[in-house]
Amino acid sequence: MRNDEIASVFDEIADMLELGGENFFRVRAYRNAARTVRDYPEQVTALSREKLDEIPGIGADLADKIATLAATGDLPMRAELKRSFPTGLLDLRNVGGLGPKRIRLLAERLHIRNREDLRRAAEAGQLRTIRGFGPKLEERIVKSLAHTVDEAGQRMQYPEAALVANNLVAYLRGCPQVKQVEVAGSFRRRRDTVGDLDVLVAASEAEPVIRRFLKFPGVTNELGAGDTKATVVVGDKLQIDLRVVPCSSWGAALVYFTGSKAHSVHIRRIAQTYGLLLNEYGLFRSERAIAGAEERDIYKALGMDWVPPELREDRGEVEAALDHRLPALLQRSDLRGDLHTHSTWSDGRATIREMARRAAASGLEYFAVTDHSQRLAMVHGLDSGRLREQAREIEAVGAKVSGIKVLSGIEVDILEDGTLDLPDGVLEELDWVVASVHSKLEQEPSAMTRRLVRAIRNPNVDVIGHPSGRLIGRREASGFDLREVLRVAHEEGCALEVNAQPDRLDLIDTACMAAKRAGVKLVISSDAHHPRDFAALEYGVNQARRGWIEPSDVLNTRPLKELSQRG
Ligand code: DGT
Ligand code: CA
Ligand code: CA
Ligand code: ZN
């Protein structure tokens, strides 16, 4: 068990003791122990019993508990305490404005045992009958309850969040006290979805910044405002946390609020090994700040290269930054082509010519028209006859639109048994073949693995489209055996797609990492159904960057000539 995990156990025990009305000193002993362990420079589970006893604030009893935690991962005491409370009661700790003391009052006076009880009592105006529960607190509780419920499981997709983020950044820059603005958190790490936005501002003075923030157009709810921070809801669900810091802490705060938590915890441990303290205010030796204003300087002072936010998930990036072997990540400008697009020949909304013009304007050198195959009758999937007709149009457009080479391709359906929806003789004639699963996605994992493997074995298939079939928030990824699929893809020289549609982003980041390790090439594709969809390539690049992908791992970074000469 890591120090932070042990610390959370102690914190939870302290909460439960307090909830049960245990005396102050006993509660405080666990809180202090939590803090001590969390900040301890070495892993406490690796210490000898003597060394453990020597840590200030850790007596024999707590040392025993740490030993038990290390050995079993839990404490009988914690399990026992947990059983003594209704689960709904412990969950109230996640409601804004409520700590153990107040929850205890609610339970004693109003017999509240869970969120539902709390909501009813609040709506009936009963909370303010308890001393210390003013109308303001009541309002905060009601808001927090409403918010946590409709937010549950509802993360916002990146592009929608980006729209708000970009407007807000521009808006905040209009405040003369603002020196720096960045949207940190999962947004800066370019996760496919964000829970909320964490906006960080460096300013000469906080108050005017907070005031302006609260007046941001689109704010529908103010969840709280203090001297240096505030929280609002924009639209019907996006929460935004603002934090204002002095310029001297900008870099440190940026590291802290960019996270991920696991990354921050890891680099804080690195700092401790140098006898330094890293927190959101700066990097300190004793009391003296040795870095803080710039993110780069903090990493540098720790002997690390600056880590791109997309990598900050504690998936090996800390070690790589210490060894100066971080990857040179793919960028949007590295992409020379797009190898999965649709037109009005199937379910696209624009003609090949319109798509070609926009592809050229998007800085691409080539793109492949890959409409659906016959099996998808609903979207007028192409049979071999219409495919031949389409090839003539592609040639004509290619001759007319300058600056772009149009390839003739197909997104051929992978049928249930892994055979393809068009004969090999037809596929052979094409410049580019994407093979995708669009039906029977709920197949058993073993059947899906066999299906994909069979498609990959077909020498005409260049790439597997949206391999997992997931649709964010709507459909789970199909559970095939990724290792086996990667093994065969490597053998056959078949690529896998990173579909850039914001609700697909398929492959996901960790699968990109696995593909790279297996020596399988990727293709970043827009799957554009409209000219504006070429812009989605950016989201695919984000996902690939989170998967440590470099330009050489991606086929469509290659000039067309190299692409067609490939093995
Ligand atoms: P999200 O909002 O669920 O998409 O994910 P994040 O990563 O944006 O998480 P959020 O909004 O809860 O917190 C923003 C950042 O603040 C997070 O990435 C790291 C930092 N942070 C939050 N809580 C803690 C904590 O307890 N310890 C540390 N070290 N950092 C934290
Ligand atoms: Ca966040
Ligand atoms: Ca947040
Ligand atoms: Zn598709």
Most distant CA atoms of the chain, gap in Å: 84
What is the 8-class DSSP label of residue 293? S
* Pair type for strands 238-245 and 229-234: antiparallel
Q: What angle do CA 562, 553, 534 make, to 5 degrees?
A: 80
Tell me, yes or no, if the pTM score tops 0.85: no
Give the CA count within 13 Å in the CB-facing half-sphere of 403. 10
pLDDT at 360: 97
Give the distance (Å) from ligand 3 centre to CA of residue 489.
Answer: 40
Task: Using the mean position of ligand 3's atoms as its centre, give its distance from the Cα of residue 439 in Å.
Answer: 38
Q: Is 390 helix (H, G, I), strand (E, B) or coil?
A: helix
Q: Which residue owns the Cα nearest ligand 1 atom 16? A: 257
Query: Ligand 1: which of 182, 187, 189, 198 to mutate, judged by most atoms within 8 Å of the beta carbon?
Result: 198
Which residue's CA is the closest to the ligand 1 atom numbered 30?
261
pLDDT at 237: 85
CA angle 56, 58, 60 (to 5 degrees): 130
Q: Which residues are CB-contacts of 313 (< 8 A; sequence separation ≥ 6)? A: 189, 260, 262, 263, 546
Tell me whether the omega of the peptide bond preceding residue 260 falls within 30 degrees of 0, making it cis. Answer: yes
Numbers of helices and strands, H then E, in the chain: 24, 17
CATH superfamily of 332-562: Metal-dependent hydrolases (3.20.20.140)
CB 52 within 8 A of CB 66: yes
**385 Cβ partners below 8 Å, 6+ apart?**
none
Same fold yes or no, 152-245 and 332-562: no
Ligand 3 center–CA 384 separation, angstroms: 52
CATH class of the domain comprising 3-150: mainly alpha
Nearest alpha carbon, ligand 1 atom 29: 261
Specify whether the CB–CB gap between 377 and 333 falls below 8 A: no
The ligand whose atoms approach the alpha carbon of 185 most closely is: 1
Q: Which two tokens stand for residue 281?
A: 């205010």
Measured in angstroms, how far is the CA atom of residue 301 from the centroid of ligand 3?
A: 27
Q: What is the pLDDT of residue 152?
A: 43
The DSSP letter of residue 550 is -
- The pLDDT tens digits of the residues spanning 195-220 come to 999 999 999 999 999 999 999 999 99
Beta bridge partners of 241: 198, 231
Q: Which atom of ligand 1 is nearest to the CA of 196?
A: 2
Among 7, 83, 76, 78, which Cα is nearest to 40's?
A: 7
Pocket lining for ligand 1, CB < 6 angstroms: 185-186, 191, 194-196, 198, 256-257, 259-261, 264-265
pLDDT score of 244? 98
> Which residues in the chain come in under a pLDDT of 50?
149-152
Q: Which residues contact 227 (CB under 8 A, 6 or more apart)?
A: 206, 207, 210
313 Cα–ligand 2 center, Å: 14
| Bridge partner list, 2 | none
The bridge status of strand 463-464 relative to strand 432-436 is parallel
CATH superfamily of 152-245: Beta Polymerase, domain 2 (3.30.460.10)
Asked if residues 382 and 371 have their Cβ atoms less than 8 Å apart, the reply is yes
Span from the CA of 411 to the centroid of ligand 4 (angstroms) = 7
Instruction: Report how far residue 302's alpha carbon sits from residue 25's, in angstroms, rounded to the nearest whole number.
Output: 38
Give residue limits of the domains in the chain.
Answer: 3-150, 152-245, 256-322, 332-562
Q: Ligand 1 centroid to 325 CA: how many Å?
A: 26
SS (H, E, C) 166-223: HHHHHHHHCCCCEEEEEECHHHHCCCCEECCEEEEEEECCCHHHHHHHHCCCCEEEEE
Question: How many whole angstroms from its chain centre is CA 316?
Answer: 17
- State the ligand closest to the CA atom of 154: 1
The per-residue pLDDT for 567 is 54
Ligand positioned closest to the Cα atom of 192: 1
Closest CA to 121 of 386, 109, 131: 109
Cα 6 from Cα 25, distance rounded (Å): 20
Rounded Cα distance, 548 and 526, in Å? 19
Cα distance from N-terminal residue to C-terminal residue, the chain: 48
* Top-level class of domain 256-322: alpha beta
Length of the chain: 567
Residue of 245, 301, 297 whose CA lies nearest to 270: 301
Separation of alpha carbons 140 and 97, rounded Å: 7
Which atom of ligand 1 lies closest to the CA of 260?
18
Ligand sitting nearest the alpha carbon of 240 = 3
Residue 518: its pLDDT value, please?
A: 97
- 522-525 and 495-499 as β-strands: parallel, antiparallel, unpaired? parallel
The alpha carbon of 264 and the centre of ligand 3 are apart by a number of angstroms equal to 15
* Nearest-atom index, ligand 1, CA of 155: 4
Measure the CA–CA gap between 295 and 288, rounded to whole angstroms.
Answer: 17
Instruction: Identify the residue whose C-alpha is closest to ligand 1 atom 14.
Output: 185
- 398 — alpha (psi -120 to 50), left (phi > 0) or beta? alpha
